[in-house]
Structure 1
């Protein structure tokens, strides 16, 4: 797929307790990205996870 028909990639980001931001993974769907972010958050670490369009 190309152009307007291409799927929108989603990115799961992580911010550590020092304020550094990192890409965790790029996902094909928002649902996949949300699930990964929720799984990472559930681990109980101090990091912050969120999903954004690439």
Structure 2
């Protein structure tokens, strides 16, 4: 099922020191997501940013 919108299967997730996770961005390609995560990490200090792919059908 498609709603006609853009497909953005790559997520950037921020994890804090307590294990809480927050989605901070969605991207069309892994390369875009990794570039954004690297930029956020450089500006965010101790925060951990990870790239994950959304499971199909989610």
Matches within 5 A, 1:27-42: 27-42=27-42
Separation (CA, whole Å) in 2 of partners of 1:8 and 1:25: 9
Aligned 8 A contact 1:9 1:26 in 2: yes
Aligned residue in 2 for 1:16: 16
- Number of equivalent positions: 49
**Aligned-residue CA RMSD (Å):** 1.7
Give 5+ residue unaligned stretches, structure 1: none
Separation (CA, whole Å) in 1 of partners of 2:35 and 2:8: 16
